[in-house]
Amino acid sequence: MYRILTLSLLATLTYACAPNTDLADDGGGARSRPNIILIMSDDHAQRAISAYTDELTETPNLDRIADGGMLFTNSFVTNSICAPSRAAILTGKYSHINGKIDNLSPFDPNQWTFPEALHDAGYRTSLFGKHHLTYVPKGLDEYRALIDQGDYYNPTFIHNGDTLEPTKGYTTTLITDYALAELRRNAESDQPFMMLYWHKAPHRNWMPDTSDLDGLLDKTYPEPATLRDDYAGRPAAANADMRIADMFVSQDLKVIEEYEPNDPGTGGATFWEGGTEKMANYFYNEIDRLHPDQRAAWQPFLDRVGREWQRVKGTDEELSWRYQRYMQDYLASVKSVDDNVGRVLDYLDESGLAENTIVIYTSDQGFYLGEHGWYDKRFMYEESHRTPLLVRYPPLIEGGTTSDALVLNIDLAPTLLELATTNVPDDLQGRSLIPLFDGEAPDDWRDHIYYRYYQEMNSFHRVARHEGVRGERYKLIHFTEPGFEGYELYDLQEDPLEIENRIDDPELAAEKERLQTELREQRQNLQVTD
């Protein structure tokens, strides 16, 4: 049955080239154009979703999306940093085209985005959660977003341009409350809808909900094989300031001043005069903004963390303790996302919206969970270059299927426009994923992907500027930062942990030349001029 439905819908989508603002009817009163919910979290590693692997945690609700749809095993971002990735998703274009190359560069709010296109095509459009692109986007009927990164507790929202008073509660839950209110409104209407349901979590500083604090400090997780990486042959990696060993013990590990008055961490802020003090103060401000009942729930937790820190500080146990502390908070933040996504999926089932609603789960990029001794992202190494991608749409995708094709975050815009039978602009650089929904990639599907990281070395985490290409087996990274210029070459089949740079290995000389040619061609095809 799925094969018949797929071929039929693909034919419909292929020939539906013009925008259709009429609400079509299938004869039984149902909307023919699908609803869309794009769920995005922040810094969610593939390894922290049990649909990919259950080695760290269980995410039963995110797994429901994969069980009812398709899991993409080779999903990547074009630039592994928050705001540029969001801009790439919205525009379907690389950073050098949409202008948002790093977190500090401006984003032109007047440029084309797929939410505005869907709005113009008759969709009710909304965004709830973390936007991170400063301006209220055009073409949204309802907008309730956090300011910048937002806070884990009692956040301040901007509602349709108006800054509200802080709302008491846990941010992941509050974002979901607002999304559910919008869904209840939409369930009463015949107008198709597109919702951006975008979480702050699990972004740094990983503050779990009070309901998840009990027993959290007793949980332990397996250490990654490269937690104590020595970075041999990889000078840019050795120079980066994103090691768990150098995390802030306050901001990141939750050791309050009573137990550590002089935070020894660098926390990625070595470029910033007074950065350690400022980041520590940020954490204390987060604690101070807790309501009395929230602080009462946190205080026993903070006291135990402080006592443990005093016990392990300066010992051989310290790095292992730091890793466990990081993972406890990070995965508890993921748990809250999973719980709340479950609330949305339950409502879709209860309301009857599930059958005609595309549900997508992704993240703005991946994240290091101790691999190479790191937290954060930015590098083209696998853990941050990869991002989760789960897509459920019952009329078109058979449940429990997977795709190994190389896909990018810029592919979401053309995919959603095509599914909504709306024009796909010719200048988009992404490609619709619809041909992959049968589980087989077409012969002309991409066999390499291009990546570019722009932020300067003298900024957070000291990651050298670089670009590169990745195929099914081999990856070439070209570092362009002065003082770190050079290439790295990895055989992902033989070395999936990326610890052996084989750029000077004569056995891979032909592969090196081929990938350097591929990099030049990708730059030319994608209009990269610098």
Shared domain for 47 and 149, answered yes or no, is: yes
Q: What is the mean pLDDT of the chain?
A: 93
Model confidence over 482-503: pLDDT tens digits? 999 999 999 999 999 999 999 9
Of 324, 343, 376, the one marking the end of a domain is 324
| Residue 231 included in any domain | no
How many domains does the structure of the chain reveal?
Answer: 3
Model confidence over 391-450: pLDDT tens digits? 999 999 999 999 999 999 999 999 999 999 999 999 999 999 999 999 899 999 999 999
How much is the pLDDT for 456? 86
450, 29 Cβ separation under 8 angstroms: no
Confidence of residue 20 (pLDDT cuts 50, 70, 90): very low
Please spell the DSSP secondary structure of 34-66, one letter per residue.
PEEEEEEESS--GGGSTTT--SS---HHHHHHH
> What average pLDDT does range 25-35 have in this prediction?
59
Confidence of residue 32 (pLDDT cuts 50, 70, 90): confident
Q: Is 249 helix (H, G, I), strand (E, B) or coil?
A: coil
Nearest to 240 by CA among 463, 454, 460, 453: 463
CATH code for the domain of 339: 3.40.720.10
Tokens matching residue 138: 């055009």
Shared domain for 422 and 473, answered yes or no, is: no
> Burial letters for 184-194: b for 16+ Cβ neighbours within 10 Å, e otherwise?
eebeeeeebbb
**This prediction's pTM:** 0.94
How much is the pLDDT for 282? 86
Say which residue, 273 or 191, is predicted with more confidence. 191
| Residue 20 included in any domain | no
Tokens matching residue 237: 């990696």
How much is the pLDDT for 30? 39
How much is the pLDDT for 11? 38
How much is the pLDDT for 67? 98
CATH code for the domain of 464: 3.30.1120
CA distance linking residue 515 with residue 474, whole number of Å = 8
> What average pLDDT does range 8-20 have in this prediction?
38
What percent of the chain shows pLDDT beyond 70? Answer: 94
Confidence of residue 9 (pLDDT cuts 50, 70, 90): very low
Shared domain for 75 and 191, answered yes or no, is: yes
How much is the pLDDT for 22? 36
Shared domain for 246 and 383, answered yes or no, is: no
Residue 1 has pLDDT above 50, yes or no: no
